[in-house]
Amino acid sequence: MAQERATPPIVIVGGGPVGMMLAMNIAALGVRSLVLNTGIDSRWHPKGSTQNARTMEHYRRLGVAGRVRKVGLPPNHPTDVGYFTALNGRELARLPMESEADKMRRVQAAPVTDQVPEPLFRCNQMYAERELHAYMKTVDLVDSRYGWRCVAVADRGTHVEAEAEHVASGRRETLRCAYLVGADGGQSVVRRTLGIRYSGEVIDEAKANAYGTGATISTHLRAPDLYRRVIKQKRCWQYWIVSGKLRALLTALDGDSEFLFNTRCRSVDDPPDRDFIAQRLHDAIGEDVAVEYIGYWPWTAGQALVANSFGRGRIVLAGDAVHLFTPTGGFGMNTGIDDAANLGWKLAAMVQGWGGPNLLASYEAERRPIAFRNTGHAKRLSGSLADVPTAPEMDDDSEAGTRARAASREVLMGFGEEFASIGVQLGARYDGSPIIAGDGTAPPPDDPAIYQPTSIPGGRAPHAWLADRSSLYDHFGPGFTLLRLPGCRADERALAVSFARRDMPLTVYDVPVPEARDLYQRGLALVRPDQHVAWRGDALPDDCDALLAKVTGW
Ligand SMILES: Cc1cc2nc3c(=O)[nH]c(=O)nc-3n(C[C@H](O)[C@H](O)[C@H](O)COP(=O)(O)OP(=O)(O)OC[C@H]3O[C@@H](n4cnc5c(N)ncnc54)[C@H](O)[C@@H]3O)c2cc1C
């Protein structure tokens, strides 16, 4: 191996959204990490456009939510989902959705116990990633080397060695660290080095004729005339084209001139050329419009895959490296960012010495079931556009045309479920995890459309607004937080002593919101750094050391 040099204790391979968020979660607890990323900058090709409510909460916790909300679709741009025969043709159906400005007005006036302090935001990943990247570079405890590729990893038992290659020069360095994370996407070198495979539903191209499944060409384009000449008053976030001739999707990116255009193609290994895309785009729009092509990229849509393991020894995997989603519901990146929140504090705890021998294994125990849950929801929601009835006379002014459009509309209006997934977004639970001190209470049912706040250990800590309109979450510490709910007079000192003995961060917060007592149903709740409840009660347990040992994996 080439020359060795001192490295932060944690190396993250992959500086996509998951790798960057992981580094920031680790830094929040005072631990240094190094992010390696093949590209020299954050990605500049659009992928997902949904920063969901849980992701936005994580951004808020790490101080970057405000920055992200400034990019993406402008505040007053409609975020409706519209279905058209062609962009200049008939509107078949429209699922109305709040603009960002309306949403934020609603949040500002929301009741004290409202559960969505950071509503879902329609902002393409490439804009959000640029903000995350710029912010990450200001975080002292994150070293980043973009333009460096990891070419080999090896767990040596007491440490990990990684071989990093400077992409431009080919120069190599050996990095030595305590833990390494593969957040290197669907083609993960780290996962393949460990010999870990995905299981689940792969796409059989021979049968994949449904839209949203199989080989797809994704095109980033600029077309300033679209708004002025074609879209005019019909503004949406997504424009789905459903006709006898074509199924395609045009997504508004900046609300001005940039769009993402997705349509089926024959094969990802033999991607179509510009003429094919131009023809499909012409059919989708219904007329010629000047277009500047920024880039195009083939990918396989419609997968629901989960890795057989989330790591081995000192090497762990997160994000697309362990789960691949069909895009419906927009859960892919968001699930990865939730992985990062779960994993970040555990890795920091291992480096700082307060994480027990079972803590790292709890990451897979808690997150792999969520990967199955979320890929399952995405798959279930992928009601195929291919099944929407169409007819040649759909654009006609005739009675037959009216009938054909009504038949399509009836099916399309049922697609709204995809955009009502607050239960999926906020309802991830770690019941049965070895590091959750459950109290025997049955959790609420896992309903994709409903989130029921509860302090039953394992779930997200319920939210509340304070009188100054700060969020309860703004008062949590970077480590564990003990919440004392109104009316509870329990003395926290024994727990504080146990934390101090282990050199563990604890924040004690007296919640000043009377309504929060009903939400929490107990006087005390111990909340983890990832905002999940680890334990609750009306008085501290007799043995606080034993509680701490449990929740930190000893
Ligand atoms: C069309 C489309 C629509 C989508 N819509 C949504 C949506 O609405 N919401 C949502 O949540 N998700 C969506 N997704 C999924 C989302 O894009 C991914 O889940 C997300 O990007 C995964 O993030 P990641 O950081 O795990 O991996 P990636 O984003 O793939 O990042 C991995 C990074 O690792 C780097 N890398 C790879 N190998 C190496 C190496 N050997 N050494 C160093 N660096 C390496 C890569 O260059 C890359 O920067 C969509 C995906 C697609 C394709």
Residue 344 pLDDT: 98
Kindly state if the Cβ of 149 falls inside 6 Å of ligand 1: yes
Question: Mean pLDDT over residues 429-437, rounded?
Answer: 98
Question: Mean pLDDT over residues 367-380, rounded?
Answer: 94
- Residue 262 burial by CB count (10 A; 0-12/13-18/19+): exposed, middle or buried? buried
Q: Which residue's C-alpha comes closest to atom 45 of ligand 1?
A: 14
Residue 266 pLDDT: 85
394 contacts 403 by C-beta, under 8 angstroms: no
Q: Which of 14, 105, 19, 116 is nearest to 60 (CA)?
A: 116
Ligand 1 centroid distance, CA of 321 (Å): 9
With a cut of 80, say whether residue 495 has pLDDT above it: yes
Instruction: Report the nearest atom of ligand 1 relative to the CA of 17.
Output: 25
What's the pLDDT band for 514 if we cut at 50, 70, 90? very high
What's the pLDDT band for 210 if we cut at 50, 70, 90? low
Residue among 123, 268, 320, 421 whose CB has most ligand 1 atoms within 8 A, to mutate:
320
CA distance 74 to 249: 20
Q: Which amino acid, 232?
A: K
CA distance 29 to 141: 10
Kindly state if the Cβ of 183 falls inside 6 Å of ligand 1: yes
CA distance 424 to 448: 5
Ligand 1 centroid distance, CA of 323 (Å): 11
Q: Which residue's C-alpha comes closest to atom 31 of ligand 1?
A: 16
What angle separates helix 359-381 from helix 332-352, to the nearest 10 degrees?
180
Residue 162 pLDDT: 98
What's the pLDDT band for 207 if we cut at 50, 70, 90? low
Ligand 1 centroid distance, CA of 314 (Å): 23
Kindly state if the Cβ of 16 falls inside 6 Å of ligand 1: yes
- Residue 176 burial by CB count (10 A; 0-12/13-18/19+): exposed, middle or buried? middle
Residue among 184, 187, 334, 339 whose CB has most ligand 1 atoms within 8 A, to mutate:
184
pTM, two decimal places: 0.96
What's the pLDDT band for 413 if we cut at 50, 70, 90? very high
Question: Mean pLDDT over residues 317-346, rounded?
Answer: 96
503 SS3 class:
coil
Residue 383 pLDDT: 64
With a cut of 90, say whether residue 2 has pLDDT above it: no
Q: Which of 523, 184, 175, 241 is nearest to 385 (CA)?
A: 241
CA distance 456 to 441: 7
With a cut of 80, say whether residue 420 has pLDDT above it: yes
With a cut of 60, say whether residue 288 has pLDDT above it: yes
What's the pLDDT band for 205 if we cut at 50, 70, 90? low
What's the pLDDT band for 510 if we cut at 50, 70, 90? very high
Q: Which residue's C-alpha comes closest to atom 5 of ligand 1?
A: 48
